[in-house]
């Protein structure tokens, strides 16, 4: 994203920094209605962790904190070519043992069709408070 300033002006958008040892190592941007599809409460629009901290469970722990803060029906979308993102979300949702609806699609970016993958699932305290 080029400009995240709306996340600091609109109460329906939730920006969160990811910290480790008192350092900011990433961020998560979460949206809620009216910025999500019908029948969805929240969407993780962006999840970023600095490369140095990837593979350390920091992203997983951060997402679990988001799920504890905002229980409900989620949608997460990603580009299929982002293999690491697909693997991360698939592994996380599988570990939670919650039903997930996966939908393949495509979007056009600068005249090129890009394959996408969307996941819809519901998180509650039963699935995240362990």
Q: What is the pLDDT of residues 34-84, one digit of tens each?
A: 999 899 999 999 999 999 999 899 999 999 999 999 999 999 999 999 999
Please state the pTM of the whole predicted model: 0.88
% of the chain at pLDDT higher than 70: 96
Q: What residue segments make up the domains of the chain, in order of their start?
A: 5-128
Give the 3-state DSSP-derived string for 55-80, with helices as H, strands as E and coil as C.
CCCHHHHHHHHHHHHCCEEEEEEEEC
Residues 48 and 41: beta-carbon distance below 8 Å: no
Which CATH architecture is the domain 5-128 placed in? 3-Layer(aba) Sandwich (3.40)
pLDDT by residue (tens digit) across 79-124? Answer: 999 999 999 999 999 999 999 999 999 999 889 999 999 999 999 8
């Amino acid at each position: 994203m080029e400009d995240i300033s709306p996340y600091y002006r609109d109460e329906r958008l939730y920006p969160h920094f990811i910290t480790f040892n008192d350092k900011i190592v990433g961020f998560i941007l979460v949206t809620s209605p009216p910025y999500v599809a019908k029948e969805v409460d929240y969407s993780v629009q962006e999840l970023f962790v600095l490369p140095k901290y990837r593979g350390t469970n920091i992203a997983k722990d951060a997402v679990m904190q988001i799920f504890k803060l905002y229980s409900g029906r989620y949608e997460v979308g990603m580009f299929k070519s982002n293999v690491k993102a697909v693997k991360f979300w698939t592994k996380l949702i599988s570990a939670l043992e919650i039903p997930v609806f996966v939908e393949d699609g495509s979007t056009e970016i600068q005249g090129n069709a890009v394959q996408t993958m969307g996941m819809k699932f519901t998180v509650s305290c039963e699935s995240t408070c362990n």
